[in-house]
Amino acid sequence: MDEPTMFEHLGGADALRRLAEAQYGRCLTDPVLIPVFGRQGHPGHVEHLASWLGEVFGGPDSYTRELGGHGALLRHHANLSITEAQRQRFVEVFLEAADEAGLPNDERFRRRFREYIEWGSRIAMEMSQPGADITTREPVPRWGWD
């Protein structure tokens, strides 16, 4: 029998919607992250984040089909000038949001989830610097158990 994808293991689209709501709500009120996210937020951010994470973790490719794929995500981070302190806080907030959203707490899942958030946030920070080359033809990365 095939092992479930991370998307299936974490509870699918509904769980990712809860995660995105919890994470984004925290980003809009966290003093370290407000300079990146603002206080008002952006319409559609929760839905876009849930769609991105769904595709990354092995769910439907809706971020690519409907929102422009990997290149679009990089463009959203352009010129934000994310600092290392903001990146680290973002990871902390994401892990807190995973608890709030009721994502599985097994060691293997949480380790892989954190590895993805750490990896992705480093790329976001790098691409956020003024002058960074955000062009790509790469597909949305897929993150699994190995």
Write down the domain spans for the chain.
Answer: 7-127
**Model pLDDT for residues 111-126, shown as the tens digit of each residue:** 999 999 999 999 999 9
- What pLDDT is stored for residue 65 in this prediction? 96
- What pLDDT is stored for residue 122 in this prediction? 98
Global pTM value:
0.94
**Model pLDDT for residues 63-117, shown as the tens digit of each residue:** 999 999 999 999 999 999 999 999 999 999 999 999 999 999 999 999 999 999 9
Residue 137's SS3 state is coil
Report the chain's terminal Cα–Cα distance, integer Å.
17
Give the pLDDT band (50/70/90) at residue 56: very high
**What CATH architecture is 7-127?**
Orthogonal Bundle (1.10)
Q: Return the percentage of the chain with pLDDT > 90, whole number.
A: 95
Q: What is the 3-state secondary structure (H, E, C) of 31-56?
A: CCCHHHHCCCCCCCHHHHHHHHHHHH
